[in-house]
Amino acid sequence: EVQLVESGGGLVQPGGSLRLSCAASGFTFSNYYMTWVRQAPGKGLEWVANIKQDGSEKYYVDSVKGRFTISRDNAKNSLYLQMNSLRAEDTAVYYCAREFTAVTAEGWFDPWGQGTLVTVSS
């Protein structure tokens, strides 16, 4: 069974840092792009970042560029999101997801983990 399990969320003060982890199992992790998507309380979905199979390419939504860093360890089947200079507007449930891509490079996400809540507040 394909499974993604996030961890590392919690309460952090504005300006603080947090590192999220996503443990993957049930598939060959190194064969897939992986992605992070977040959802603020009561709001919609927002794509945050993704990373190529070998980690050589990384992409971010503008609002987190320079503050968040996505990485992966294929030997440990794990995906990470290092979040620095956190702001109140980063408060959200953060989901990791496996990414599929069509021949056109357009992609979709399946499955998603259960999510981990990050709360940025003083």
Partner 1 sequence: SYELTQPPSVSVSPGQTASITCSGDKLGDKYACWYQQKPGQSPVLVIHEDSKRPSGIPERFSGSNSGNTATLTITGTQAMDEADYYCQAWDSSTAYVFGGGTKLTVL
Under the rule (CB under 8 A), what is the footprint of partner 1?
A: 35, 37, 44-47, 50, 59, 61, 95, 100, 102, 104-115
Query: Nearer to partner 1 by C-beta: 35 or 90?
Result: 35
Task: State in angstroms the smallest separation of the CB of 20 from partner 1.
Answer: 15
Between CA 105 and CA 6 the distance in angstroms is 26
Task: State in angstroms the smallest separation of the CB of 31 from partner 1.
Answer: 18
Query: Nearer to partner 1 by C-beta: 29 or 109?
Result: 109
3-state secondary structure (DSSP) of residue 6 = strand
Task: State in angstroms the smallest separation of the CB of 14 from partner 1.
Answer: 26
Q: What does the block give as tokens for 46?
A: 């927002």
Between CA 96 and CA 15 the distance in angstroms is 23
Short-list 115, 85, 109, 122, CA closest to 20: 115
Task: State in angstroms the smallest separation of the CB of 79 from partner 1.
Answer: 15
φ and ψ at residue 49, rounded to 5 degrees = -165, 155
Between CA 55 and CA 88 the distance in angstroms is 29
Query: Nearer to partner 1 by C-beta: 61 or 82?
Result: 61
Query: Nearer to partner 1 by C-beta: 16 or 100?
Result: 100
